[in-house]
Structure 1
Amino acid sequence: MFIEYMLPILMVVCLLIGIFTGYPVAFVLGGLSIIFSLVADVPLPYLGIMGSRIFGGVVENWLYIAIPLFVFMGLMLEKSGVASRLLLTLQRLFGQVRGGLAISVALLGVVMAASTGIVGASVVMLGMLALPVMLKQNYKEEMALGVVAASGTLGILIPPSIMLVLMGSIMQVSVGDLFKAALIPGLMLGVLYIAFLLFMGWLKPEWMPLADPDDLDADTTPLPLALLRDLVGPVFLMVAVLGSIMMGIATPTEAAAIGALGAIFLAIFASKLDYATLRDVCYDTSKSTAMIVFIVVAATAFSLIFKKLGGDYLIMDIVDSIGLGPYGLLLSIMLMIFVLGFFLEWIEISYVVLPLLLPVISLLDFGMSTQATLVWFAILMAINLQTSFLTPPFGYALFYLKGVTDSSVKITTIYRSIIPYVLLQVTGLVLCIVFPAIVLWLPGLL
């Protein structure tokens, strides 16, 4: 089998080597596509198909319009100060609960995840807002760092999620169905985080001291009015975006436009919308969108050449040789994706691995329809890929967090801080595998 599939195996090996060199992933994917098409003497007409696939399948895909709109919405909310005010209000609400500030960070992570969907912005925002306050309050470093990193990654799973938009396009599955299916698992992870924080507050109270009452009284606005002022805006935006999709009123692209417009109104309401803010948001939106689209285009070319060289048959032969049942194969795939998450970003895994696994997954019998199987598998993979933001050595959330801490915080401390949350996410993944209704109940209901 090695001789027959030497070129696709070599292609994967070169991809891993290229990524470890630190060279931009998009250039690695695109460059390997060109090199191996020349080495394998791929006919020119087939390369023409590649061009058609890129322009027809990626550039002209209307679903991708949602990406810059969701990115714009998240960045505008970050710049408007909505999150900072909400954190202070939640801290007042949970101020006399052991670990109350950490619980406030987890709740803010859930609220902002449902409003932004951008991991980098969420981690940086939570790190800059909450981390200095927790350390000043004498939180144990690992407790403070871990909850910030983990809560910031919820945005990649809880809809509206850019990951789910891209997965829907790759798998030809309704993005609305994926949004419905991801909502309960995403909230479940948030509940697991909060339960863990409450348990640690009881077990190790010295790790999470209570807040100083003087700090909680800095805002003289009555707590109910403060909650109404700071929570209604993000929640209304979340309901407008997700509700319009789930009720079939708007497509994901249209809902993204609603979200972007709503974020502008929230910024106006907070008196934070000026030319400088709008310029920075548009600039960062352009950079993020260009990076995503560049990787998508390069990954499309890589997958096409990989299949031309027999990579899809290589995958099928490996599956046949393993001889496991449907659940055994599913667990093997989840383990493989978990390991790949240590080294690759979710975009590369989604666009390189997912197209190769789809034919295999669609043929497996889990006692449900093919469409339900694909939705279920997509959410399992999304939960798994969320973990990739936290797993060293290349967990991006860890590097985002290190970037907003001072030199006294060591990267090894950050690595230790996320271990409980990785275990919690694996627990959530196992629960969704054992009980598929966690994923499929809401899409079936709506």
Structure 2
Amino acid sequence: MEVELLPIIMGLCLIVGTFSGYPVALVLGGLGVAFLFIGGLPIFTLQLAVSRIFGIMSNWLLLAIPLFVYMGLMLDRSGIAANLLYSFERLLGGVRGGLGIAVALLGVVLAASTGIVGASVVMLGVLALPVLLRENYSPQLATGLVAASGTLGILIPPSIMLVVLGSMLQVSVGDLFKAAFLPGLLLSVLYVAYILILARVRPDMAPPVTSRDRTPGWRAVLELMRDLSGPLVLIGTVLGSILAGVATPTEAAALGAFGATLLALIGRKLDLNGMGEVVYETGKITAMILFVLIGATVFSGVFKALGGDEMIRDAVTGTGLSPFGMMALFMIILFVLGCFLEWIEITFVVLPLFTPIIIDLDFGLGFTPNEQLIWFAIAVAVNLQTSFMTPPFGFSLFYVKGVAPEGTSIGTIYKGAVPFVVLQLIGLASVIFIPYLTIGIVRALG
């Protein structure tokens, strides 16, 4: 067998192994070991991979992952989301499309409070989807809105993806949090604008709420501020301490975990059984992320030893594309991979292959190498957000299907996701072609 073909065969085997349903971490690690022997590489190659794994695991920044996961799951227990939805509904429900806007705004609050897509989508699905359907919202719009609003948690800080990207790219997580703020806000504005336009063009798809009495305006605002106070204090504590340089992301995550527990206790939503479930789920999610990291490190180490990274570099540079053309090519590849793989596998396996190429490109933007990496990281984060919404393996769509009322077909959910995927791609194009959306705020906040 030609040695030059081994990286290609290795990549094809990864695709087949992913579709087999076997745990991805084991597929990655198993393929790495198998192709080590097939390619006749020295066993020392695995020792290098183990050394890299040890180096990654000793990075105390990764402690922020279980802490942010715990914070998100504990907030799920606190009942805050239900109170906020009710307050938003009373304030905006009488406006055409107002209930949809309320769900989108709740998605923003949950994203800034949890950073976990699964928790946000399930919470929105359980709380908001029945209300939307009861108020005669189009099933396609309702399911697409819930899925899209829930995925904001992967981009809006404190995002677990940004913590992982910071560790992988060796850039400041605090700077990534700053850079993600405007793109996350832009996506939220695009969602709200779409709902308002759709409600105007197709009023039957997003009618005003008529099934309950609404609180007078001033009183509704006061009740909304009351219900927002807890999440806002938590968000301010976590993000404010990071952006002000008072705490590291790990320390801020610990504060967030404590604050979320305190909110659950104040709301009388926490007992020993609930605490046990939250701790168990935190351990399970964290172990899954780190297990994939280990398998991906072994896979990447062997792939690079076989010359796979040089093959990709030669193929990309041989296209003759401009720097922005290469950026677009990378984004297309990531978008296609996102239809089949989770962001974790893409981040750990594919990103290390693209990053060295991006560092060497001259986009003519006057960015430092660190700023260029931050810009690239946020573009990747926005791109991978679409991976939760794209068939056939959009996990947000499956989360919605799992909590949707009986009779809601997966086809309806797929159709409802399409407009929001388009909006996310508009957001991605904005990040790429208006790079100061990301770097501008990083420079402004120092």
TM-score class, shorter-chain normalisation, is over 0.9
C-alpha distance 178-220 of structure 1, shift in aligned 2 (>3 A):
closer
Give secondary structure in 1 for the equivalent of 2:204: helix
TM-score scaled by structure 2? 0.97
Of 269-278 and 149-158, the range deviating more from structure 2: 269-278
Among residues 290, 302, 306, which one is paired with 2:303 in the alignment?
306
Contact 2:338 2:386 in 1 (8 A): yes
Contact 2:94 2:210 in 1 (8 A): no
Amino acid of the structure 2 residue aligned with 1:244: S
Map of 1:344 onto structure 2: 341
Within the alignment, does 1:208 sit opposite 2:206 as a pair? yes
Among residues 104, 107, 113, which one is paired with 1:106 in the alignment?
104
Map of 1:69 onto structure 2: 67
Amino acid of the structure 1 residue aligned with 2:119: A
Cα offset, 1:51, TM superposition? 1.4
Q: Deviations over 1:85-140 (max 9, x none)?
A: 01100111101111111111100000110010000011111000001111111111
Map of 2:132 onto structure 1: 134
Q: Deviations over 1:318-376 (max 9, x none)?
A: 01211111011111111111111111110111011100111100000012221111000
Unaligned runs of 5+ in 2: none
Map of 2:373 onto structure 1: 374
Within the alignment, does 1:143 sit opposite 2:134 as a pair? no
Cα offset, 1:170, TM superposition? 0.7
Map of 1:353 onto structure 2: 350
Map of 2:16 onto structure 1: 17
Equivalents in 2 of 1:60, 1:38: separation in Å? 29
Map of 2:222 onto structure 1: 225
Map of 2:117 onto structure 1: 119
Amino acid of the structure 2 residue aligned with 1:207: M
Amino acid of the structure 2 residue aligned with 1:275: L
Equivalents in 2 of 1:443, 1:220: separation in Å? 37
Amino acid of the structure 2 residue aligned with 1:21: S
Map of 2:80 onto structure 1: 82
Within the alignment, does 1:427 sit opposite 2:446 as a pair? no
Equivalents in 1 of 2:50, 2:351: separation in Å? 21
Among residues 314, 323, 327, which one is paired with 1:326 in the alignment?
323
TM-score scaled by structure 1? 0.97
Equivalents in 2 of 1:255, 1:306: separation in Å? 36
Amino acid of the structure 1 residue aligned with 2:75: L
Unaligned runs of 5+ in 1: none
Cα offset, 1:212, TM superposition? 2.1
Equivalents in 1 of 2:7, 2:116: separation in Å? 33
Cα offset, 1:221, TM superposition? 11
Map of 2:170 onto structure 1: 172
Map of 1:286 onto structure 2: 283
Give secondary structure in 2 for the equivalent of 1:392: coil
Give secondary structure in 2 for the equivalent of 1:222: helix
Among residues 287, 293, 298, which one is paired with 1:296 in the alignment?
293
Map of 2:41 onto structure 1: 42
Q: How many residues align?
A: 443
Contact 2:3 2:306 in 1 (8 A): no
Equivalents in 1 of 2:148, 2:249: separation in Å? 26
Equivalents in 2 of 1:87, 1:220: separation in Å? 16
Q: Percent identity?
A: 55
